Amino acid sequence: MKAHQAQYILEQFVDSTNRWNSIFGKEPMTFPLSQQNANSLMDKLAGELSPENLHCDGEISHAQAQRKFRELNTIKKALETYCLNNWLDTPECVY
């Protein structure tokens, strides 16, 4: 993945997260991301990658779950790349 593609993918994920968080009155994340932002994003990805969330509690097909896994893994790699390029500790993704 090229650097500009990774940045775009990460920006889209942050935008989506900000829209969701605005419902709950949370402050939006902005670039450059802080360590706390990076940690929060990785925690969100870990939650989405957990088996029950990944498979939507069995409501989606295996192929749909695979596609969702690839998309989330691409976002995870983009966040890891961002952290490395911006002198942030790369958060661990535990799910």
Q: What is the pLDDT of residues 37-56, one digit of tens each?
A: 999 999 999 999 999 999 99
Q: How far apart are CA 6 and CA 18, in angstroms?
A: 18
Task: State yes or no: pLDDT of 1 exceeds 90.
Answer: no
Cβ-proximal residues to 93 (8 Å cutoff; 6+ apart), any chain: 42, 45, 46, 49, 76
Q: What is the mean pLDDT of the chain?
A: 95
Size (the chain), residues: 95
Q: Which of 4-8, 20-24, 60-64, 77-81 has the lowest mean pLDDT?
A: 4-8
Full-model pTM = 0.92
For range 4-31, the mean pLDDT: 95
pLDDT for the residue 4: 86
